[in-house]
Amino acid sequence: MRELFTVAEFASILKISPSTIYRNPSRFHMFKVGGAWRANEESVEKFSQTPNNVFRLAVVGKGVTKCRSTNEGKTTGLISRLQTELELDALLAPKRKRKLSSTTTR
């Protein structure tokens, strides 16, 4: 019989807080036995093979597909290259000081 880990044991294996696992147990490949969350060795392997969210968000263009109307290739992914550039420019742009308008009324 395979060994089942409790949330606390599984958290210590992954070196994270148990509350992190309780927030999203499916992300960590947990399953319920009775009324309690459990994991096995397969859960550890699956989680270690899952790419980190930071890396998935940084990947732009997972593949190339053809547009049906123009038959041109386009990259597909979580966020377009143009959108990434616009967001990065907005973050790195110097902040502008706004003039405060007078709010007094007569």
Per-residue confidence (pLDDT) for residue 58, from 0 to 100: 43
**Residues 70 and 35 occupy one common structural domain:** no
Per-residue confidence (pLDDT) for residue 61, from 0 to 100: 40
**Residues 60 and 79 occupy one common structural domain:** yes
Per-residue confidence (pLDDT) for residue 50, from 0 to 100: 67
Per-residue confidence (pLDDT) for residue 60, from 0 to 100: 38
Question: Is residue 104 assigned to a domain?
Answer: no
**Residues 30 and 59 occupy one common structural domain:** no
- Give the residue numbers spanning the domain of 21: 7-50
**Residues 46 and 60 occupy one common structural domain:** no
Per-residue confidence (pLDDT) for residue 101, from 0 to 100: 67
Number of domains in the chain: 2
Does 39 score more than 90 pLDDT?
A: yes
* Cα–Cα dist 89/104, whole Å: 36
Task: Work out the average pLDDT over 34-39.
Answer: 92
Q: What is the pLDDT of residues 45-102, one digit of tens each?
A: 888 776 654 433 444 344 556 666 777 666 555 666 777 788 888 888 877 776 666 6
Task: Work out the average pLDDT over 35-52.
Answer: 83
- SS3 percent helix, strand, coil of the chain, rounded to 5, is 40, 15, 40
**Residues 12 and 38 occupy one common structural domain:** yes
Question: Is residue 101 assigned to a domain?
Answer: no
* Cα–Cα dist 19/80, whole Å: 33
Question: Is residue 1 assigned to a domain?
Answer: no
